């Protein structure tokens, strides 16, 4: 079992299969496209330029370097979580306040926890593979590959 210790950004605990990318993720471009909105925010990435195009983030531990793009990031994440289509947890190299705001607001307004842990090491992209079960402890900043 591989374990990483990082910085807790949003508390909570989750264990789920990983969805991993080494590309930064633009949540607005990925989830506010017509195919997602027409299908009632289904959680499937609709950014054709992203390597996770057509992958579903719902119930997954989303592992990615950072968010890019819009200031609307937090609200997109909040809406995915509200509709039950958000990730179970997130592990990022560089957590920003816009990404964290969506997970924090979900906890405050919806009583739903989506832990967010920041791990600066690029080793997370070689140690964690898509489909592996990952446990995220957002209280302690721990990420375990099962």
| 66-106 per-position pLDDT tens digit | 999 878 899 999 999 999 999 999 999 999 999 999 999 99
Q: Tell me the CA distances in angstroms from 54 to 46, 51, 64, 98, 139, one per residue in order.
A: 6, 9, 16, 24, 31
Statement: the pTM of the whole predicted model exceeds 0.85: yes
> Is residue 70 among the annotated active site residues?
yes
As a whole number of angstroms, the distance between CA 137 and CA 139 comes to 5
Q: Is the pLDDT of residue 141 over 70?
A: yes
**Among 8, 32, 70, 101, which one carries the catalytic annotation?**
70
**Strands lying side by side in the sheet with 142-145:** 2-5, 142-145, 133-137, 13-20, 61-64, 89-92, 116-118, 7-10
Nearest to 54 by CA among 24, 81, 22, 31: 31
Residue 47 φ then ψ, to 5°: -85, 105
Domain boundaries, position 102: 2-145
Q: What residue has token string 């832990």?
A: 115
pLDDT at 47: 87
Nearest to 64 by CA among 12, 11, 134, 137: 134
As a whole number of angstroms, the distance between CA 112 and CA 46 comes to 24
Domain count, the chain: 1
Size of the chain, expressed as the number of residues it contains: 146
pLDDT in tens, 60-73: 999 999 999 878 89
Structure tokens at 84: 């039950």
Q: What is the CATH number of the domain that holds 75?
A: 3.50.30.10
Q: Is the pLDDT of residue 36 over 80?
A: no
Q: Is the pLDDT of residue 119 over 80?
A: yes
Q: Is the pLDDT of residue 30 over 90?
A: no
């Amino acid at each position: 079992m591989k374990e990483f210790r990082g910085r807790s950004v949003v508390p909570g605990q989750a264990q789920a299969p990983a969805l991993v990318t080494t590309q930064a993720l633009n949540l607005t471009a990925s989830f506010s496209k017509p195919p997602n909105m027409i299908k009632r925010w289904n959680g499937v990435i609709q950014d054709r330029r992203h390597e996770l195009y057509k992958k579903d983030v719902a119930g997954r531990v989303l592992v990615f370097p950072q968010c890019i793009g819009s200031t609307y990031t937090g609200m997109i994440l909040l809406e995915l979580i509200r509709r039950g289509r958000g990730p179970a947890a997130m592990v990022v190299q560089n957590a920003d306040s816009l990404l964290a705001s969506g997970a924090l607001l979900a906890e405050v307004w919806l009583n739903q926890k989506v832990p967010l842990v920041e791990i600066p090491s690029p080793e997370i992209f070689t140690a964690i593979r898509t489909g592996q079960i990952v446990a995220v402890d957002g209280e302690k900043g721990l990420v375990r590959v099962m």
